[in-house]
Structure 1
């Protein structure tokens, strides 16, 4: 059986993906210490060991991006929005891929819970993975999320999942701890010839 194709590059949203569980409004996170989301550091370490280029992008001012990304590894490329057209224009995704020397779009994946960024990824021709529980569509901190009972969590998760799939994203997971299985699924889809 042939091996699943390797991934060219992974792009991550910053808020509600790598840090700031729930992607809460900027006023909440501006003065609080930045915290990685569950599984973020482990995923980044795994990607580094497998030499998969990756970067984060967000549409926050550069100074705030540096504050929010402070708990992330130094090697992770930061690509603040800068001069790019506002999402959902694809420019920021393409600029981020150029910054990490991705030489083609095939096998490039964007992971985020932010609908406008996911739409930008779709417009850029990337595979997209939406984050339901830790993204801004649920909008709860990790503590608030854990305080919900299972029924409440399932309701919020289901609503966010439907919104993400209605955008056209290729897969939806709750948070980055589920990313490895999702990437394996996308690998199999690519092996069968599916394109984003």
Structure 2
């Protein structure tokens, strides 16, 4: 029997949406539509993992964005401007997630195998509930249905990097110890979330936000290109405190085996 009882999984860049493009590309579009203001995809990726309104706030505070905003509007981004961008963002995001709901290659067979062994699959996201209500059924049609999901605005305590969404999964799934859970995420706030919840944490260096490539772009890269992009992603996730960093969720079986051995020796995250 596995000592690990549950995986608590992020969504975009972890289980679906290789490269985490549904959220990042829509931030670029929302800024453009709301204020005809350009932000780059690289800038949009920097606060990834936060709740989406918090993401807009953090994006506006980036020195590069803030300086351009002040030059254009004469002040830093205001609450009212954040609210307008968020209102613009929401319908675009709801539509986008249904187009980016395809499970990442190799993930579903691994999850099926683990569930057959009794593993529970929880999930949480930086997406708000309204977006998740579109993403969850779209992913289900393509074969992915977690045992439970929590959106970033479902809990009064808030979202990442706090532990609350991860812990809500522990309660709902009936897991008897947080040390028997593995939090898997492609972004730093999700790793911090898992650490704050007392869980083992696994970062994803290739399928998600830090690597930032589509599946087709990734497959077309040389080994040298892959290594050059993987290395900084691995470093950032390790520096965030991830206990393990792998390429994609499909690579998690050896990690679970190692954590089982550590748990059986009495180790804790």
When the two structures are superposed, what TM-score results if normalisation uses the length of structure 2? 0.67
Would you say how many aligned residue pairs link Structure 1 and Structure 2?
Answer: 193
Structure with bigger strand share is 1
Partner of 2:6: 9
Residue 67 (structure 1) aligned to one of 112, 134, 138: 134
Tell whether 2:110 aligns with 1:39: no
When the two structures are superposed, what TM-score results if normalisation uses the length of structure 1? 0.90
Q: Is the 8 A contact 2:18 2:213 kept in 1?
A: yes
> Structure 1: 5+ residue runs without aligned partners?
none
Give me the whole-angstrom Cα distance separating, in 2, the residues matched to 1:66 and 1:156: 33
Q: Is the 8 A contact 2:122 2:146 kept in 1?
A: no
> Structure 2: 5+ residue runs without aligned partners?
27-92
Q: Is the 8 A contact 1:38 1:176 kept in 2?
A: no
Structure with bigger helix share is 2
Q: Is the 8 A contact 1:20 1:34 kept in 2?
A: yes
2:99 partner SS: coil
| 1:9-38 deviation line (CA, Å, top 9, x unaligned) | 110111111101112242284352521012
C-alpha RMSD of the superposition: 1.9
Larger radius of gyration: 2
Alpha carbons of 1:152 and 1:62: their partners in 2 closer, same or farther (altered >3 Å)? same
Displacement, 1:147? Answer: 1.7
Displacement, 1:105? Answer: 1.3
1:109 partner SS: strand
Residue 77 (structure 1) aligned to one of 134, 137, 148: 148
| 1:116-153 deviation line (CA, Å, top 9, x unaligned) | 01101001100001110001111111111112211110
